[in-house]
Amino acid sequence: LRDNRIELVRASWHELSISVSDVSLSDEGQYTCSLFTMPVKTSKAFLTVLGVPEKPQITGFTSPVMEGERMQLTCKTSGSKPAADIRWFKNDKEVKDVKYIKEEDANRKTFTVSSTLDFLADRSDDGAVVSCRVDHESLNSTPQIAVQVLEIHYTPLVKIISSNSWPEEGQSIILTCESKGKPVPEPVLWTKDGGELPDPERMVVSGRVLSISFLNKTDNGTYRCEAKNPIGRNSTEYVLIVHDVFNTLLPTTVIPSLTTATVTTNVALTASTTTSATATSIRDPNALAGQTGPDHALIGGIVAVVVFVTLCSIILLGRYLARHKGTYLTNEAKGAEDAPDADTAIINAEGSQVNAEEKKEYFI
């Protein structure tokens, strides 16, 4: 071995050692050690030299990229022996669907390896970190990495946020138009029902915020917020409905005096008994026109109770009158008004049972 990079480290009757500095691919091959005895004894060993891959580079990216365009990023490294392995990552998450190509170099000992990442640009990729990692056994578990930060341009994304979910007359409302795009969208444009804002004194636009004070029914309509940038424009709508003001001071249930009842009973003692009842329902003028659901059930319950009490009263009064007929005169009692006692009254009566052939009593 005649090479300045090869040095004799140790020589004795028992051992012969050499060292090789700045190893190159040409140093690969079979090495032989000979012991000149009779006969000559030899020992052989094969030296394998690994080709260290060059630092990878990412090509194919032109900034900026428009949303929806197809991107093809290529990562390439040369000089590896054996061929190196290339892996793609996007925000530290490995991408599996890639194209891998291995080519032999001109020295026919090392390889050039390339890998292509193909995808459609999306707004979610804006600012994403794409990395290409080269793994090889000569790197001692320390891979070589190339990094590319993506820049995606896209049309604005618009959203309207309301400060009042149930606007009522006399209140105010603030509509905020959130727009996100790249490049940053220009100041937004507010319109109502396809035209300009009708009342600039109450409808004030400040940047992306629309403030409407002292709401009334004329403010009902569709409000549109439009944002644009050099890539394009986008808009969204908000339908404003101004509600009536309701009295919600007390959360308790108030039972109004909605029903009154008048009962009139006429009784004839001599010939017949006539009973009549009249129930009148009077509407409370203080009742709210909008309260129809629970008040109907309440009124029905009260009317049913009043009618039931009235019927029971009529039935009890009729039974009482039937059992207590009162004082009445018959033909048998004529002439007995001045009698001092009952026996004398019976004797003095014109129709006494002594002279009567047939006595009948009728009650109508």
Q: What is the pLDDT of residue 211?
A: 96
Residue 155: exposed, middle, or buried by beta-carbon count in 10 A (0-12, 13-18, 19+)?
buried
Note whether 33 and 67 are same-domain residues.
no
What letter would DSSP give residue 242? P
- DSSP code string of 275-308: E--B------TTS-TT--HHHHHHHHHHHHHHHH
Q: What is the pLDDT of residue 359?
A: 56
Q: What is the pLDDT of residue 331?
A: 52
Give the span between the Cα atoms of 227 and 155, in whole angstroms.
9
Note whether 102 and 34 are same-domain residues.
no
Give the span between the Cα atoms of 241 and 18, in whole angstroms.
93
For residue 290, being part of any structural domain is answered with no
Helix, strand, coil shares of the chain as percentages rounded to 5?
Answer: 15, 40, 45
For residue 184, being part of any structural domain is answered with yes
Point out the domain boundary residue: 192, 218, 240: 240
* 256-291 CB burial, b ≥16 within 10 A, e <16: eebbebeeeeeeeeeeeeeeeeeeeeeeeeeeeeee
Task: Specify whether the CB–CB gap between 177 and 208 falls below 8 A.
Answer: yes
Give the span between the Cα atoms of 181 and 269, in whole angstroms.
97
Q: What is the pLDDT of residue 301?
A: 87
Give the span between the Cα atoms of 321 and 243, in whole angstroms.
61
Q: What is the largest CA-CA distance in the chain?
A: 187
Note whether 127 and 165 are same-domain residues.
no
Note whether 144 and 166 are same-domain residues.
no
- What CATH number should be reported for the domain holding residue 115? 2.60.40.10
Note whether 61 and 144 are same-domain residues.
yes
CB atoms within 10 A of CB 212: 23
Point out the domain boundary residue: 88, 117, 150: 150
As a residue count, the chain comes to: 364
Task: Specify whether the CB–CB gap between 155 and 232 falls below 8 A.
Answer: yes
Give the span between the Cα atoms of 71 and 68, in whole angstroms.
9
Note whether 102 and 131 are same-domain residues.
yes
Q: What is the pLDDT of residue 202?
A: 95
For residue 350, being part of any structural domain is answered with no
The list of the chain residues with pLDDT below 50 reads 248-293, 328-329, 352-356
For residue 359, being part of any structural domain is answered with no
Structural domain containing residue 193: 155-240
Give the span between the Cα atoms of 359 and 272, in whole angstroms.
22
Give the span between the Cα atoms of 18 and 27, in whole angstroms.
13
Three-state DSSP class for residue 205: strand
Asked if the bond preceding 82 is cis, omega within 30° of 0, the reply is yes
Q: What is the pLDDT of residue 270?
A: 34
For residue 347, being part of any structural domain is answered with no
Note whether 166 and 221 are same-domain residues.
yes
Number of folded domains that form the chain: 3
Q: What is the pLDDT of residue 247?
A: 57
For residue 295, being part of any structural domain is answered with no
Note whether 165 and 229 are same-domain residues.
yes
* pLDDT tens, residue by residue, 205-259: 999 999 999 999 999 999 999 999 999 999 999 999 999 987 544 444 444 444 3
Point out the domain boundary residue: 93, 124, 150: 150
The closest of 205, 208, 187 to 196, measured between CA atoms, is 205
Q: What is the pLDDT of residue 320?
A: 81
* 143-152 CB burial, b ≥16 within 10 A, e <16: bbebebebbb
Beta partners for residue 144, in sequence order: 134
One-letter amino acid for residue 211 of the chain: S
Query: Dihedral of the CA atoms 246, 247, 252, 254 (nearest 10)?
Result: -100
Task: Specify whether the CB–CB gap between 184 and 126 falls below 8 A.
Answer: no
For residue 299, being part of any structural domain is answered with no
Note whether 17 and 86 are same-domain residues.
no
Q: What is the pLDDT of residue 260?
A: 40
Note whether 74 and 36 are same-domain residues.
no
For residue 255, being part of any structural domain is answered with no
